[in-house]
Copies of this chain bind each other. A is one copy, B any other.
Amino acid sequence: MNIKEVAAYAKVSVATVSRVLNDDPSVAPKTSEAVRKAIAETGYVRSALGRNLRRAQSDVVLVVLPNMNNPFYADIAEGIDSRCKDYGLSAMACNTYGSHEKLEYFCGFIEKRQARGVIIVSAPWKRDYSFLEGLPVVGCCESREDMPCAQVDIDNVQAGYDATKYLISLGAKRIALIGGGEISPSNIKREQGYRLAMRDAGYPIDESLVVNNCYNYEQGSAVAKRILNASPDALFAAADEIAVSFINAAQDMGISIPDELKIFGFDNVHYSTFVKPKLSTIDQPRYEMGVQSVDQLMRVLEGKKARTVMCQYKLIRRGSTEKGVL
């Protein structure tokens, strides 16, 4: 069933059917009604292919993200979904699994006219991003200088600084840092913040307490013993999952939290409250960051100047750093 058949069924021209489909007010009420009746009776569904080809634009926004394992992305996606709907667009998520080739492949959907724009959530960490130049693309999280597009993020240097300063305010002096990928922009910034705060407090950093390239629970557990044996009095992990691995490792070693060791994470994922004590962490406004990403993408699409947006994070105090706190 195509528009021509519906037109014949309703005894009008295809132009008229098209006008009804597009709510053109110039169509006479009676004609419009007849066409709607024909559409209903035939079960006709307009082909987006014909329409999009003719209008030279798609109504799909691609959300390109590393994978769906991290629930951190879920709220961002929800913000994107919601705001896209406001603009009459549909968001669809594609996984790169960290592959730069896949990122390029999905961005290619713009040029192939299958997507109106792309929101890149936590871009893979290496490589050249110059191919994004001029494309309707917005980055969300893992913002970086060499990405030629508007980006949405939090101030990770400040967040790392705040977290460390908070631990210091609780009396910590020997603070371990367990970081993620050495080339991850956010990780680099969080470490910068950590180092600034330690310097400002006048505390030396014991480099044996600093570890990087620690991505998941298993890797955290693997280095935990060595770090904990060096007796830090606090620990700042660049991800909640790592922090949780240290909570467990510390408890196995009979180290009491938060008395002997304060542990601080990052991201406030839902299971950060499943552990005991509950994890203190940084909460990023994930949903809002998704919304902002769409807004900036729309600015690009409308030819307006898009800008890089820094969102407000929250420091969440819980039992892993303070006794008696929820």
Query: What residue in chain B is nearest A248 (Cβ atoms)?
Result: B276
Chain B residues contacting A50 (CB-CB under 8 Å) are 53
Residue-wise interface mask of A (281-323) relative to B, using a CB-CB cutoff of 8 A (1 in contact, 0 not): 0000000000000000000000000000000000000000000
Provide the bound-state CA to CA distance between A113 and B75, in Å.
Answer: 29
Chain B residues contacting A75 (CB-CB under 8 Å) are 69
Measured between C-beta atoms, what is the minimum distance from A70 to chain B in Å?
8
Measured between C-beta atoms, what is the minimum distance from A217 to chain B in Å?
6
Q: Does A228 have its Cβ within 8 Å of any Cβ on chain B?
A: no
Interface centre among A47, A77, A92, A94 (most CB of B within 10 A): A92
One of A10-18, A180-188, A254-262, A267-275 contacting the partner:
A267-275
Provide the bound-state CA to CA distance between A68 and B270, in Å.
Answer: 13
Q: Does A30 have its Cβ within 8 Å of any Cβ on chain B?
A: no
Are B67 and A69 within 8 A (Cβ)?
no
Are B47 and A113 within 8 A (Cβ)?
yes
Q: How many residues of A are in contact with the other chain, CB < 8 A?
A: 47
Query: What residue in chain B is nearest A216 (Cβ atoms)?
Result: B270
Are A93 and B68 within 8 A (Cβ)?
yes
Measured between C-beta atoms, what is the minimum distance from A54 to chain B in Å?
9
Are A112 and B273 within 8 A (Cβ)?
no
Which residues A54-97 have CB closer than 8 A to chain B?
58, 60, 62, 67-71, 73-75, 77-78, 81, 90-95, 97
Q: Does A178 have its Cβ within 8 Å of any Cβ on chain B?
A: no
Are A45 and B94 within 8 A (Cβ)?
no
Measured between C-beta atoms, what is the minimum distance from A219 to chain B in Å?
13
Residue-wise interface mask of A (230-261) relative to B, using a CB-CB cutoff of 8 A (1 in contact, 0 not): 00000000000100110010010000000000
Chain B residues contacting A109 (CB-CB under 8 Å) are 48
Q: Does A108 have its Cβ within 8 Å of any Cβ on chain B?
A: yes
Measured between C-beta atoms, what is the minimum distance from A111 to chain B in Å?
4
Are A94 and B92 within 8 A (Cβ)?
yes
